[in-house]
């Protein structure tokens, strides 16, 4: 299939999609709903954010269920996972935990890594900014991933934190999502990190965002790689240089909610603001 490029009207159509989007409906279904109650405390928000982003695999109902079960092990406050008095008992409490291929012993290892990190540093922003200043956004994500992985750990633990600079040039969706939560200061994000310009953010490229981005011509890449992340982010940065990732939540939940059926369906696609830009509708006119 020949390359599908964004139409000249796409920026205006994306703005319409954003303006009409029912944020409150989708925030309740999003993992960030578990993080927002802790937003007044940066450390607890970071801890809840890392665990919620790590568990962000599968459908939103399963993800929110997993976050809820994790929170129940520490009396409803995921931030307590890094409190020293919980260190001895959380290992036993987390042992039976399962979510997809993620196990409780892996989450316990993550809690250990974070507990040790916060004993010497106030915020994970320090790690990310050090990487950002050394080599850009991908280096910042890589530094976060290496900090969380450390050395050793239970089987499969290191694989929870892939890096854009590692084998396969991972899209690193979950860590990129965590950084967006921490940096953007507009709803629904938290804006707790103040040293990272929003214009530097990259799109957390999940399957929904990638599918829609590909069909709008924001990327020509069929696989979710870091190169695709950069293409989509740059295309959105040309539309909004200051806050390119503000469209991410809308595109993601347009896919999750079924508002984008991923096939030509006039009943659903007809009112969609970006339908005229979609490759599925190229050459197809709506019936009068």
Closest residue by Cα to residue 34 from 79, 67, 73, 59 = 67
Domain annotation for the chain: domains and CATH numbers: 1-29+199-283 (1.10.1670)
Please confirm whether the linkage preceding 17 is cis (ω < 30° from 0).
no
Consecutive 10-residue runs of the chain (288 residues): their mean pLDDT?
80 96 92 91 95 95 95 92 87 95 97 96 97 98 97 95 95 98 96 97 97 96 96 97 97 94 92 94 67
d(C-alpha 130, C-alpha 14), whole Å: 33
Q: What is the pLDDT of residue 1?
A: 44
Q: What is the pLDDT of residue 162?
A: 97
Helix (H) or strand (E) holding 23: helix 23-27
Average pLDDT, the chain: 94
Question: SS3 for 11?
Answer: helix
**Number of CB atoms found within 10 A of residue 252's CB:** 23
* CB under 8 A, 24+ apart: contacts of 116-123: 117/147, 118/43, 118/82, 122/43, 123/42, 123/43, 123/46, 123/193
Secondary structure letter of residue 60 according to DSSP: H
What is the per-residue DSSP string for 35-57?
TGGGTTSHHHHHHHHHHHHHT--
Q: Would you mind telling me the total number of residues written for the chain in this entry?
A: 288
Closest residue by Cα to residue 203 from 216, 188, 218, 215 = 218
Class of residue 39 by CB neighbours under 10 A (exposed 0-12, middle 13-18, buried 19+): middle
Strands 102-103 and 98-99: antiparallel
Strand partners, 225: 170
Are 267 and 223 in contact by the 8 Å Cβ rule? The answer is: no
Over residues 79-125, the pLDDT tens digits come to 999 988 888 889 999 999 999 999 999 999 999 999 999 999 999 99
d(C-alpha 35, C-alpha 51), whole Å: 9
d(C-alpha 172, C-alpha 226), whole Å: 8
Q: What is the pLDDT of residue 50?
A: 98
Over residues 20-43, the pLDDT tens digits come to 999 988 999 999 999 999 888 999
**Number of CB atoms found within 10 A of residue 237's CB:** 18
Tokens at 91, concatenated:
């290992």
Strand partners, 103: 98
* Helices 42-54 + 104-118 axis angle, to 10: 150
Distant-in-sequence, close-in-space partners of 89: CB < 8 Å, separation ≥ 6: none
d(C-alpha 20, C-alpha 113), whole Å: 41
The CA distances from residue 119 to 77, 84, 114, 178, 221, in Å, are 19, 10, 9, 21, 42
Distant-in-sequence, close-in-space partners of 109: CB < 8 Å, separation ≥ 6: 153, 154, 157
Q: What is the pLDDT of residue 288?
A: 40
């Amino acid at each position: 299939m020949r390359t599908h490029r964004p139409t000249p009207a796409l920026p205006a159509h994306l703005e319409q999609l954003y303006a009409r989007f029912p944020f409150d409906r989708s925030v309740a279904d999003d993992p960030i709903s578990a993080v927002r109650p802790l937003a007044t405390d940066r450390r607890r928000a970071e801890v809840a954010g890392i665990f919620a982003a790590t568990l962000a695999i599968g459908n939103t109902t399963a993800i929110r269920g997993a976050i809820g079960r994790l929170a129940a092990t520490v009396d409803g406050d995921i931030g307590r996972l890094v409190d020293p008095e919980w260190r001895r008992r959380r290992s036993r409490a987390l042992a039976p935990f399962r979510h997809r291929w993620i196990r409780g012993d892996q989450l316990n290892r993550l809690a250990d890594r974070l507990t040790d990190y916060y004993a010497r540093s106030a915020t994970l922003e320090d790690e990310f900014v050090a990487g950002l200043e050394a080599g850009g956004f991908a280096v910042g994500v890589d530094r976060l991933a290496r900090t969380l992985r450390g050395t050793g750990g239970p089987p499969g633990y290191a694989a929870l934190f892939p890096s854009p600079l590692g084998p396969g040039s991972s899209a690193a969706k979950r860590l990129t999502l965590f950084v967006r939560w921490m940096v953007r200061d507009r709803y629904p994000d938290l804006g707790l990190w103040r040293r990272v310009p929003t214009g530097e953010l990259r799109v957390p490229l999940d399957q929904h965002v990638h599918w829609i981005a590909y069909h709008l011509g924001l990327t020509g890449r069929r696989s979710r790689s870091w190169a695709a992340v950069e293409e989509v982010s740059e295309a959105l940065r040309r539309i909004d240089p200051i806050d390119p990732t503000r469209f991410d939540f809308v595109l993601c939940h347009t896919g999750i909610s079924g508002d984008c059926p991923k096939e030509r369906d006039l009943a659903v696609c007809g009112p969609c603001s970006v339908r005229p830009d979609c490759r599925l509708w190229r050459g197809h006119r709506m019936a009068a």
